[in-house]
Amino acid sequence: MSYVGPDFDPPQPRRSRRGPLTVALAALVPGALLGWLVYEAVGGGGPEGSDRTAAPSSGSPSRTAPASPSSPSALSASPSSSDGDGKRPAKSPTAAASGPLKGKVVVIDPGHNLGNFQHTAQINRQVDIGTNHKECDTTGTSTNAGYPEARFTLDLAHRLRTLLEQQGATVKLTHDEGGPSWGPCVDERARIGNAAHADAAISLHADGSAPGNRGFHVIMPGSVHSGAADTREIVGPSHDLGVRIVGNFVRETGEPPSNYLGGGTGFVTRTDLGGLNLSTVPKVFIECGNMRDSKDAALLTSGAWRQKAARGISEGMVSFLRRS
């Protein structure tokens, strides 16, 4: 997701540059831990508002905030770990299996919606995020070859849901196939997690920054108390959730922490995102990589890698939900 700058570009001629991941996992984990020590020493993630800019586009709506007049979907379609695009029919809610997370509720928010670019009037309308007003939602970004962020996030959400349900959690998605063709708006996405009384919530994204900018980062809520927004009670637990996800994501995927945000720690704190500002439950965003970088794009478009990403996020969430 690119928060500032140009929006979703229409598919461009395919570039078949698929660079293999060359960073050894053994080197990444110590680096991430060192970055975290630096983060703790200075007392925070990247500077507030240090957003990135996607590649130029023409005339499509701005990138992301969630929106819609729909209610949460408690769906249980089980994704495979193949290289598919994650399209699976929506199923009726099913009872959570027994497991260590039985009784826990998780809300997964797949960033954007594939139909957003066809509903510019709806997603461009302003909604109140407490500190100010922002667009209801945005189109998201894409790889240079045209693989949309919205397709990536939905596939990843399906994979993550299956893993968490296997641990016994009740999992709800903010939207899924068969639902509204756009949105939901950012304020509605937050309300879905709140209404579910989620024990944890996560919004899934991929970035649209400049080529050469690589890596993932987790966005945590800053302290906000303005209008309808009051994050003071969730800042601490959201930080804990973010820390656990970062460590597990590095280990499972081998993807390095962002080299362009967060000072190499993998952590960024923001107070301008409606999905975080309006949440009353512990919640973070994760930008799993940069779709405009050829090396990251090769990973993000791989079903096998998306399964690793789902596993890393799941293990971080399980660790958080099982804490005493």
Residues with active-site annotation: 287
Contact 286, 203 (CB under 8 A): yes
